[in-house]
Amino acid sequence: MSGRLETALRARIDAGGKCLVPYITGGYPGWVESIRACAANGADAVEIGIPFSDPVMDGPIIQQASQVSLDAGTTPISILHEVRTLDVGIPLAVMCYYNTVFHAGEKRFASDLAAAGISAAIVPDLPLEESGPWTAAADEAGIETVMLAAPTAPDERLPRITERARGFVYSVGLLGVTGERSSLAGTATALAARVKNVTTKPVLVGVGVSNAEQAVEASRVADGVIMGASVVRRMIEGGPDAVGAYIREVREALDTAQW
């Protein structure tokens, strides 16, 4: 049985489209309006970052947004509180580091997410081998845990990752942390192809997908993309309107590309 996130992504894929999942740093000024702007302009789901003091998978832009958010007093609780009333009609996922989960307690965190109407969670520093306590609690609460596959993974590892993934499989686009790059790394499509070979679940490329053109390029192999730093930069520089315009631009590029 698929959860809400996987169901929404499959609907897009089955209709011949490509999935677009933007990332928004929770608690950054204008974040709620930015999520609405994403939903209104063709995002299939939104990934909400819960800021953490030590974000090892994030580059300068998302680090900066996280720090501003933390300095403004954002907490996991304050984010979930606002999400509760945010009825945008598309599934929402959180991206958080494992200490946020561990500190709250796996079970409590999973039920807090469910109570706030969150569909899924991405925990980038929780690899397969350590994921047991969390996925047990998440499965129980109906939260889909997205698993990451990295370019360094040997072939035998990928099926174990896709097997455990719910919602979609996050195919990491490059060796490195989040941030904009001038071109799509060759590893992005190479890994997406390897992952697609071993699963029928939706496969989205994230990290280093930095503009509409790169989104199309990655989606030639994958079922769609997660876009983080390029979205957050627009939120920082131009607020929710700039985010909305950007999501529309990427959506149109994905919808009009010849596959």
Partner 1 sequence: MVTPGADGRFGEFGGRFVPETLIPACQELEVAFVDAWADPSFRKELDDVLHEYAGRPSNITECHNLSDQLGIRLILKREDLNHTGSHKINNVIGQTLLAKRMGKKRIVAETGAGQHGVASATAAALMGLECKVYMGAVDVARQELNVFRMKLLGSEVEAVTSGSQTLKDAVNEAMRDWVATVESTHYCLGSVMGPHPYPFMVRQFHRVIGDEAYVQCNDLLGTTPDFVVACVGGGSNAMGIFSGFVDSPARLIGVEPAGGAAVGRGQPGVVHGMKSYLMQDEHGQVAEAHSISAGLDYPGVGPEHSYLASIGRSEYPTVTDDEVISAFQVMSRAEGIIPALECAHAMAWIIREAPKMQGKTVLMNLSGRGDKDVGQMMNILGGV
- Report the interface residues with partner 1, using CB under 8 A: 52-57, 59, 63, 67, 70, 75-77, 98-100, 102-104, 124-130, 147-154, 157, 161, 172, 174-177
Angstrom distances, CA of residue 67 to CA of 61, 64, 168: 10, 5, 28
Nearer to partner 1, 29 or 151 (CB): 151
3-state secondary structure of 232: helix
Residue with tokens 């009825």: 87
Nearer to partner 1, 7 or 100 (CB): 100
Pairing assessment for the beta strands 224-227 and 203-206 based on DSSP bridges: parallel
Catalytic residues: 47, 58
Q: How many CB atoms lie within 10 A of CB 22?
A: 30
DSSP 1-61: ---HHHHHHHHHHHTT--EEEEEEETTSTTHHHHHHHHHHTT-S-EEEE---S--TT--HH
CB of 162 to partner 1, least distance (A): 12
CB of 69 to partner 1, least distance (A): 11
Answer for the pair 171, 192: CB distance below 8 angstroms, yes or no: yes
Nearer to partner 1, 10 or 98 (CB): 98
Nearer to partner 1, 29 or 102 (CB): 102
CB of 106 to partner 1, least distance (A): 12
Nearer to partner 1, 67 or 199 (CB): 67
CB of 242 to partner 1, least distance (A): 25
CB of 30 to partner 1, least distance (A): 22
**Residue 145 DSSP class:** E
Burial of 50 (0-12, 13-18, 19+ CB in 10 A): buried
Distance CA 32, CA 142 (A): 24
Answer for the pair 61, 229: CB distance below 8 angstroms, yes or no: yes
